[in-house]
Amino acid sequence: MGPEVLKDINFSIAPRSFQYLTGPSGAGKTTLIRLVLMALKPTRGLVNLFGQDVSRLDATTLTGFRRRMGVVFQDFRLLDHLTLYENVALPLRVLGKEETSYRAEVVELLRWVGLGERMHAVPPVLSGGEKQRAAIARALISRPELLLADEPTGNVDPGLGRRLLRLFMELQSLGTAVVIATHDLALMELYDAPRLVLVDGHLHVDA
């Protein structure tokens, strides 16, 4: 077992809240997000999600919880052999929905994030910014209760960064709790919100 990445961390995310998760590179932001996503199991400690201890969840409940969350990965994690349209529609497709039932919604979202003309393209031919926008669209498409975004504006120009931030805020006003992991101070200054600051594996809340 390696060194502990996160220790003595205690925090909660209220429904419909908006917060930043910040700290220097390597502080453990991505690890924290993976813990919340149940992609990692804590070596010790307790993770409660939607009022339940995740260590006691069976596979079906776990899948149900993941469907209530949206995630934007720092490295995008798009499926390379699928088009942008198919990538963005993926969370709805895995729910077993008919393609015709979500087509308009997916296309509208793709156009909103500026990828309307690129919906045929597959990720390997896209720029970093385009992949990032596609990853964001995929996280938003199922209108999650909790959105976790890892450096969502890291590869886009400031103008689009501001638009995306407005989108996250709009999402929060519609009832989604939003956690944005970033170390972009300029972005955090655009909209004032509580900051969960991670330094050397320890966390403090900067309200």
Q: Is 90 in the site for other proteins (CB under 8 A)?
A: yes
| Per CB under 8 A, 12 contacts other proteins | no
Backbone angles phi, psi at 170, to 5 degrees: -60, -40
What is the bridge-based pairing of β-strands 195-199 and 18-22?
parallel
Distances (CA, A) of 144 to 64, 72, 78, 112, 199: 12, 12, 18, 18, 28
Largest CA distance in the chain: 49
Closest CA relative to residue 135, chosen from 79, 66, 62, 67: 79
Side-chain half-sphere CA neighbours of 42 within 13 A = 19
Segment near other proteins (CB under 8 A); pick from 42-50, 60-68, 125-133, 171-179: 60-68
Count of positions on this chain that bind other proteins (CB under 8 A)? 35
Binding other proteins (rule: CB under 8 A), the pick from 77, 128, 186, 200 is: 77
Closest CA to 176 of 136, 139, 144, 142: 144
User: Is 163 a binder of other proteins (CB under 8 A)?
Assistant: no
Determine if 120 is a binding residue for other proteins (CB under 8 A): yes
- Closest to other proteins by CB, 150 vs 184, is 150
> Is residue 162 involved in binding other proteins (CB under 8 A)?
no
Residue 142 makes contact with other proteins by CB under 8 A: yes
The only residue of 7, 111, 166, 204 in contact with other proteins, by rule CB under 8 A:
111
Give the Cα-Cα-Cα angle 59, 65, 67 (nearest 5 degrees): 105
Enumerate binding residues for other proteins (CB under 8 A): 37, 39, 59-60, 63, 66-67, 71, 77-79, 81-83, 85-86, 89-91, 93-96, 99-100, 103-104, 107-108, 111, 116, 119-120, 138, 142
